[in-house]
Amino acid sequence: MKTVPNVVYDQISALPDDPDVGMIVAKKSCDSVRAYLLTMVVWNVLLAFYGESETYGLLKGPREDRGDLKFLKETFSDEIDVKRVVSETAANRQSAEHHCTSCGLPASRAGVATLLACQRCKAIGRLVFYCSKKCQATDWKTGRRPHKTVCGKVGAIRDAYLAPKEPELADEDDDDDFFGEPNPGYVRSPALLHQLQMLKENPGVDYVFIRPHPHEDHGVMLQDPLGRMFFMLCMKRAVCDYSPRETFKMFQQLEPSARNAPGFSVAQLKNQFLKEYGIDVDVAKAQCFPS
């Protein structure tokens, strides 16, 4: 991401020559927040010329995930004031509102007392709300993923991402691997090469669990944007060199999905990582994160 140059900010946010993954994530997060704040300053100045103002609010996602605060503590404990950030995040979540899946408005801005919940989705742990019957009907027929195709179906959203897409024409010079070439001396295992090929064929997922017959392979999509960015940075290192620390961090983020995936388990994920990266995650934990 390109940033607006500023001598003071560039010096404060400069990374050392060999930054760890946590520092890289923190830097990208700061750059993103700064870009957003600068954009909103310009936008609000423009609104002021027309006597208008913007209304702001915090919106909740489609699932409640309380594990990411614990992940934040473990990941950034040496780099930021974790207690303050966790406290502010928890307070923000308390004030956040659910929003209409169709128009995006919370109840307070949609002019209704409460939002209507889709009961079939609620039964499987997916939170889908509407401010009116009109919005519900619109999303049912023409939503970004028409709700009639995913309503009450476990894994339906994942399957929609995995559905075959029309092939796109690409320039021959634009076929660089996102993960880059491995470092000299590091040889990717056949299992890891297969994983990378699966990710290339299914760009909507972040990782693929290789399940035994008769189960089909299972794609995983990480819900938290910051967590996903951290995961991808870890993986970019893990697929290019022997990286037990980053591999274990990847395992930590995938472990809840492995526990809940049909026909798969945490033990199978450990075995898959051993085949792909040649790393026993239990040994990596003991070496890199001794208690």
Report whether 279 contacts 244 (CB < 8 A): yes
In one letter, which amino acid is 141?
K
Q: How far apart are CA 192 and CA 210, in angstroms?
A: 11
- CA distances 127 to 54, 56, 156, 223, Å, are 27, 22, 14, 13
Nearest to 269 by CA among 291, 246, 247: 247
Q: Report the 10 Å Cβ neighbour count for 209.
A: 22
Q: How far apart are CA 245 and CA 279, in angstroms?
A: 10
Provide the residue-wise pLDDT of the chain in tens; the chain has 291 residues.
678 888 888 888 888 888 888 888 888 889 998 998 999 898 888 888 878 887 777 777 665 545 555 665 666 555 556 667 767 777 777 778 888 988 888 888 888 999 999 999 888 888 899 999 999 999 998 887 788 888 888 776 665 654 555 554 444 444 346 788 899 889 999 999 999 999 998 888 999 999 888 888 999 998 888 888 889 989 999 999 999 999 999 999 999 999 988 889 999 999 999 999 999 999 999 988 886
